[in-house]
Chain A
């Protein structure tokens, strides 16, 4: 008896080998699992055989041909069963000769041969598998009945072909539409979706690319109603600004991000099993992704314990597939242009008229003429320019039509034992503002080695991100006056475009005001750039100890170095009137993050008696995150030719180098069990004990738990027996658990001393308290309850998923104000709570559902309602601070998104003054913050996507529109650029409505105060408006070409192309400027995929 190394070919020689020994040989040589009932194995006769490198299927055929045994090869498993009862032995070949059939099985999409596809003769034990070239051969016993062959392959749709006595049969298998959707990947364990009671949704790269090609996060936002990107009105489409992301709303007190240093509402990102960062995921190439899973409720997230309260996003990258070397190339490119449709700026004539009416040039007489001679002269000076046709649209000056591109090259291959993949991606993302860009390069090598029960995997990534930021904020251009010229008579750029004197009413002195040209600062050599280099290595070892028991350990190392440089030219207008030795400055910051992760786990999964499915995972994780930061600043430059810090005069007076080092660690143990009875009743339970260095020594460990229940009604006999074939899935789910939140700054619980470096004395070193800490700080946890329903009816034409959730965060971690005699002015405390309720719905319906023609419509929807509880007056200090700044207040029973303001009845037509309504519903001219009530809510009633998609042969198209219904918005533009234009700001350009919609004379029914009133107006309900939106979030069309001859000439096997329009239009019921410091962008994109 001899045996070669693992392969799918068997070599065996011997006479009368006991059947058990044959099975052992199969196990040893192929690495396949062989099992069968004891009775079956005992019934087998010894085998005499002499074969060399015989394919497994053929071998099985041979050893079972005279036996009462049938076999099936599937997924590395050979199962043996008795044929005695199931099927009588085929008749002796008296009817005819045994036929042989051969052919090649290919992937329909790529036309690559498939290795290890299974071919089975329906109703018999005849099977065969394909070799590396996709070739198979199968013997077909003669029969007078019609015979059907079943072709199957993992991840492909099983195909049945009727045998018509042909000699060859080539088959192309189509990929199963969403193979990943059948499995929930949590990064720690995987579970069949049908037997999982948690709320999670999975998307493939294909789904993401259907929406857009620019960012995973942008696509996810369209696909999943629970996933939201908070609109950033200040930074618009800035490529270097990371979005604020929320899954199912907020679990922490908002508005306090600064205090915590990190965004406490950000979800946890898991990349290939390890924690990752928003920036990495945001820059990640879509073409490397296998699947993204959004874990939403406690049953799904509790395995991540104290970091899971905001939901978890699990990203799995493509694993290399075996086979010959294959190369994929993807190009994603887009053309972006700024969206200025919400800007409503005055032109030069309007602006000048506005200035005149405000009394900027002096008061007006009865005929509307300027009384002051000086003022009149200035007015006519400007008028001359207007008449000459000067009408500069400054807002366009810093903008450009930008092009972004991302190239991804992916190669994979290998054999059964060793597989490899290598990818290289480069993305260049230009912002729509000149000078802003973000370039990301990533290289990844992945190796997978498998031998027997052990498999090893290693993934190494190198990242480089370089970014440049614009140096002049967009708002400076928007605010420049249209009657000023960009260039002087010689075509050059002047620093000062206008200079005039005015009388300052407060000090009764004449002051000179210079208006600087924003183009001048932009033309100076200003630098604001940063770069980062990352290195990630993840190693994984898996040991299949028993068929149902696996041991896995993973070790991850991640290191990120970043450096940022900011150089401000000494010629900038900021430095006018600054001492010459202090003009211009240079800041450099260097950071380094080093993270280590490790986990060990044991996974058990077994089906008992074909009814009791038991799954369990137990293990622990440890991690350490270290950060190091150092920075310095120099100032005083004579020139901006070089931004070299060496050319500076020196350090700022008393300036010192900055240096910070922080380390946080956590350790956790977890146990997750799932039990399914007959695929009908499901129970999932998770326990996790979490320890973190962030929390007080008294509370270092905490326990997180969750329980989920599910009921697959469609598997019930009363459904099955009543022939309700139109019902393919009806599942009810419910879960409860208490995941926690750790997104808070380090050491908040500790009493920390710092060295005093400001001063010294003869007594040596000195330390003072830096952070008083709160030793009894408790972990912030969220009691998360969820009820969900999954429905698929009408032959899967209609799919609906609904989740209703109720999250209670109690206590919250908040900074409360303290009387300063406590030694501190604020203190972090466990206090109050926040309740968030809401639902998400996603549904789609196939209007036409044919194999080559498919037309679907889809609708998703989200509603969120939140309120505070038990916070008392502890956050009054924030309420005080927010008055006159915004409309956010913290009160018991109120929602975090409520807008608080004094009610306004509008402008009194007689006087032009605002009339308020006080708490007792009395009219008054007096604005009093005590009269504030809720005048709106920035959260919409419902928000979501309505869309449609169409496939016809190789063509596909989709339209997804975002709608937002209900909810209000604070009209910043009205507040700042229509009213509240003080005397200095009259010199800046304003919203057109400052001219048209303001009260001018008695009897005017106007929405805004008298045009000549420049004193500040407090925020009132007048500045709150209903905000309903419809926007074209994604429109895309694509065409897939497979196996065309001209492609072959290129050496390619398939070509995928797709064109997109993202955010191409936007209708809103309000006109409010968006993208204050960086405009929003519309984009038209194109993607191309080539497979060789």
Chain B
């Protein structure tokens, strides 16, 4: 054979062998799964993707916190039918705007769930060379907890009011698959079991790796490297998972467990010698320049969004047209609604309500999320806070005395006088009142009313007073994008 021919055949054979390599194209402006999960930084990026995307306005960045879900809880004074949130506070779930809003929230939630599912699947069952400890525990634990938390919020929105009779009602799917296969709709009970299981697993995974237990929240830049184990307040940390367990247990009526978890959190994070989530101080809450309206030290879990100002500008800013704003009155300086809500005017929380002059008009404005440059918790939207643990513990404690103590401890931290409820009924009313004051703009109040099957909620059509709530209105119908394509599995 001539050398020329040999060369030719060599080229031929080499090219044949490299064919499969050749067509294995890696995209350059996005990442393929195989490229991403090659080392721990890929896992961290994917996990962080879920946290960042949770701040999307169709989910916790607005819809599930400040706007729709809070409007449904009757926080705002909304009268006009053209107001973008009117249909939410009237529970007109079949109208176009709420339909669209719930659909987007649902889609985004399950998009994030499949993101967590991929991370969970890719993490495997033990720490590995690609994903060593402590990353394994952190990544998989947080992904599990995120999956549970998002499912829990979907259940609270689209599922039935929990009761012995209702818990077997088929409501939402619990998606654990990383592929696009359809998960069956499960009963509320089954969904709750999955949530508790995921949270419990997450807790176990984070127990030995989460620095929040030993080092605290560490809300500072890590000078030595990445922030993977810093800013624990913005991640589903060990205590946040415990708090979620308390919240979830109470939802399913398991008061004993709820109490246990709530108390464990309280005991662990407020040790005088090393408080991890201390109550806000008087100085911080009343600071004239940079008031801590979030009570940021006591937020156990929150999302971090640099777009919080946009959200504020779109919903609360005094410059907004009164027909679009989420306000406590008809677009003027009337404080009646706020005054009725906060019985003690020394309340730190009352301080968010101020009249702000726009042109010649003075407009009552909620400044909770007002942008304060370099202020504490500037980019925070709280999702789990310590006070809720006090409220849960107070609600679940066996005795009136213990409950009252817990409630008053929390009230004291808000700079208001203690109360002495005469019976558990009065205690319950006091707790509800604290929920309303405490969780403003955080999307929890509606679920509190739903959990308690409350038939009376604040009236959106009057400055003060309540309106009757039809229990059916607590259950949002599944979006069309889900139900219309589920024909085969509908039962």
A818 on interface, CB distance cutoff 8 Å: yes
- Assess whether B180 is in contact with A825, with CB atoms less than 8 Å apart: no
B335 on interface, CB distance cutoff 8 Å: no
- Assess whether B20 is in contact with A700, with CB atoms less than 8 Å apart: yes
Chain B proximity of A539: nearest CB distance (Å) = 16
- Assess whether B482 is in contact with A660, with CB atoms less than 8 Å apart: no
Chain A proximity of B305: nearest CB distance (Å) = 6
- Assess whether A759 is in contact with B30, with CB atoms less than 8 Å apart: no
Residue in B25, B113, B179, B304 whose CB lies within 8 Å of A664:
B25
A90 on interface, CB distance cutoff 8 Å: no
B24 on interface, CB distance cutoff 8 Å: yes
Hey, which chain B residues are within 8 Å of A747, CB to CB? Answer: 27, 32
- Assess whether B55 is in contact with A820, with CB atoms less than 8 Å apart: no
Hey, which chain A residues are within 8 Å of B25, CB to CB? Answer: 663-665, 693
- Assess whether A760 is in contact with B52, with CB atoms less than 8 Å apart: yes
Hey, which chain B residues are within 8 Å of A760, CB to CB? Answer: 52, 306
- Assess whether B27 is in contact with A752, with CB atoms less than 8 Å apart: yes
Partner-binding segment picked from B42-50, B393-401, B410-418? B42-50
**A818 in contact with B48 given A600-B12, A767-B36 (CB within 8 Å):** no
Closest to B11 in A: A600
- Assess whether A756 is in contact with B173, with CB atoms less than 8 Å apart: no
- Assess whether A753 is in contact with B33, with CB atoms less than 8 Å apart: yes
Partner-binding segment picked from A438-446, A768-776, A942-950, A1081-1089? A768-776
Give CA–CA (A877, B486) in the complex, Å.
11
Hey, which chain B residues are within 8 Å of A819, CB to CB? Answer: 173, 182, 481-483, 485-486
- Assess whether B227 is in contact with A753, with CB atoms less than 8 Å apart: no
**A768 in contact with B30 given A622-B22, A693-B24, A821-B110 (CB within 8 Å):** no
B19 on interface, CB distance cutoff 8 Å: yes
| B 450-489 contacts with A by CB, 8 A | 479, 481-487
Hey, which chain A residues are within 8 Å of B214, CB to CB? Answer: none
A824 on interface, CB distance cutoff 8 Å: yes
- Assess whether B32 is in contact with A752, with CB atoms less than 8 Å apart: yes
B183 on interface, CB distance cutoff 8 Å: yes
Q: Mark A784-801, 1 if CB is under 8 A from B, else 0.
A: 000000000000000000
B127 on interface, CB distance cutoff 8 Å: no
Closest to A629 in B: B29
Give CA–CA (A761, B110) in the complex, Å.
22
Closest to B483 in A: A819
Residue in A661, A692, A753, A820 whose CB lies within 8 Å of B49:
A753
Give CA–CA (A665, B51) in the complex, Å.
35
- Assess whether A691 is in contact with B19, with CB atoms less than 8 Å apart: yes
Residue in A697, A754, A763 whose CB lies within 8 Å of B48:
A763
A514 on interface, CB distance cutoff 8 Å: no
B53 on interface, CB distance cutoff 8 Å: yes
- Assess whether B31 is in contact with A763, with CB atoms less than 8 Å apart: no
| A 875-898 contacts with B by CB, 8 A | 876-877, 880
- Assess whether B106 is in contact with A820, with CB atoms less than 8 Å apart: yes
**A764 in contact with B482 given A620-B15, A820-B106 (CB within 8 Å):** no
Chain B proximity of A476: nearest CB distance (Å) = 29
A701 on interface, CB distance cutoff 8 Å: yes
A156 on interface, CB distance cutoff 8 Å: no
Give CA–CA (A762, B481) in the complex, Å.
34
Chain A proximity of B216: nearest CB distance (Å) = 16
Give CA–CA (A519, B303) in the complex, Å.
53
| B 213-266 contacts with A by CB, 8 A | 221, 226-228, 230-231, 234-235
Closest to A771 in B: B30
- Assess whether B19 is in contact with A818, with CB atoms less than 8 Å apart: no
- Assess whether A821 is in contact with B180, with CB atoms less than 8 Å apart: no
- Assess whether A753 is in contact with B51, with CB atoms less than 8 Å apart: no
B115 on interface, CB distance cutoff 8 Å: yes
Q: Mark B101-114, 1 if CB is under 8 A from A, else 0.
A: 00100110011111
Give CA–CA (A691, B52) in the complex, Å.
37
Closest to A822 in B: B180
Closest to B2 in A: A545
A167 on interface, CB distance cutoff 8 Å: no
Chain B proximity of A821: nearest CB distance (Å) = 5
**A620 in contact with B16 given A665-B23, A753-B36, A820-B481 (CB within 8 Å):** yes
**A768 in contact with B23 given A750-B33, A752-B30, A873-B487 (CB within 8 Å):** no
Give CA–CA (A390, B124) in the complex, Å.
79
Closest to A663 in B: B25
- Assess whether B118 is in contact with A751, with CB atoms less than 8 Å apart: yes
Chain A proximity of B486: nearest CB distance (Å) = 5
**Total B residues in contact with A, Cβ cutoff 8 Å:** 71
Hey, which chain A residues are within 8 Å of B234, CB to CB? Answer: 761-763
Give CA–CA (A751, B33) in the complex, Å.
6
Chain B proximity of A490: nearest CB distance (Å) = 41
Give CA–CA (A665, B235) in the complex, Å.
41
**Total A residues in contact with B, Cβ cutoff 8 Å:** 58
**A818 in contact with B221 given A752-B30, A753-B33, A774-B180 (CB within 8 Å):** no
- Assess whether B175 is in contact with A823, with CB atoms less than 8 Å apart: yes
Give CA–CA (A817, B180) in the complex, Å.
11
Give CA–CA (A512, B438) in the complex, Å.
48
- Assess whether A769 is in contact with B114, with CB atoms less than 8 Å apart: yes
**A759 in contact with B45 given A663-B25, A819-B486, A822-B182 (CB within 8 Å):** no
Give CA–CA (A660, B304) in the complex, Å.
28
Residue in B23, B27, B484 whose CB lies within 8 Å of A667:
B23
A766 on interface, CB distance cutoff 8 Å: yes
Q: Mark A695-729, 1 if CB is under 8 A from B, else 0.
A: 00100110000000000000000000000000000
B307 on interface, CB distance cutoff 8 Å: yes
Hey, which chain B residues are within 8 Å of A750, CB to CB? Answer: 27, 32-33
B419 on interface, CB distance cutoff 8 Å: no
- Assess whether B110 is in contact with A820, with CB atoms less than 8 Å apart: yes
- Assess whether A764 is in contact with B226, with CB atoms less than 8 Å apart: yes
B56 on interface, CB distance cutoff 8 Å: yes
B28 on interface, CB distance cutoff 8 Å: yes
- Assess whether A753 is in contact with B32, with CB atoms less than 8 Å apart: yes
A641 on interface, CB distance cutoff 8 Å: no
A827 on interface, CB distance cutoff 8 Å: yes
Chain B proximity of A309: nearest CB distance (Å) = 19
B155 on interface, CB distance cutoff 8 Å: no
Chain B proximity of A693: nearest CB distance (Å) = 4
Chain B proximity of A18: nearest CB distance (Å) = 26
Chain A proximity of B123: nearest CB distance (Å) = 16
Hey, which chain B residues are within 8 Å of A42, CB to CB? Answer: none
- Assess whether B23 is in contact with A822, with CB atoms less than 8 Å apart: no
- Assess whether A667 is in contact with B182, with CB atoms less than 8 Å apart: no
Hey, which chain A residues are within 8 Å of B106, CB to CB? Answer: 820-821
Q: Mark B321-338, 1 if CB is under 8 A from A, else 0.
A: 000000000000000000
- Assess whether A759 is in contact with B482, with CB atoms less than 8 Å apart: no
**A759 in contact with B305 given A661-B29, A820-B481 (CB within 8 Å):** yes
Give CA–CA (A762, B217) in the complex, Å.
13
- Assess whether A660 is in contact with B44, with CB atoms less than 8 Å apart: no
- Assess whether A691 is in contact with B110, with CB atoms less than 8 Å apart: no
- Assess whether B487 is in contact with A761, with CB atoms less than 8 Å apart: no
- Assess whether B50 is in contact with A768, with CB atoms less than 8 Å apart: yes
Residue in B20, B180, B230, B484 whose CB lies within 8 Å of A824:
B180
B429 on interface, CB distance cutoff 8 Å: no
B289 on interface, CB distance cutoff 8 Å: no
Hey, which chain B residues are within 8 Å of A665, CB to CB? Answer: 22-23, 25
B181 on interface, CB distance cutoff 8 Å: yes
Known: A620-B19, A768-B50, A821-B482. 20 other contacts (CB 8 A): A665-B22, A667-B19, A691-B20, A691-B23, A693-B23, A753-B30, A753-B33, A753-B36, A756-B52, A761-B52, A761-B379, A762-B231, A764-B45, A767-B31, A767-B48, A768-B49, A769-B111, A772-B114, A820-B103, A822-B180
A–B pairs, 27, beta carbons within 8 Å: A600-B11, A600-B12, A620-B16, A661-B28, A691-B20, A700-B24, A746-B27, A750-B27, A750-B32, A750-B33, A753-B30, A754-B31, A762-B221, A762-B230, A763-B44, A764-B226, A764-B227, A767-B36, A768-B46, A768-B49, A768-B111, A769-B49, A772-B114, A818-B182, A819-B485, A820-B110, A827-B180
Q: Which 4 residue pairs are nearest across A and B when measured between Cβ atoms? A: A823-B114, A693-B25, A766-B48, A761-B304
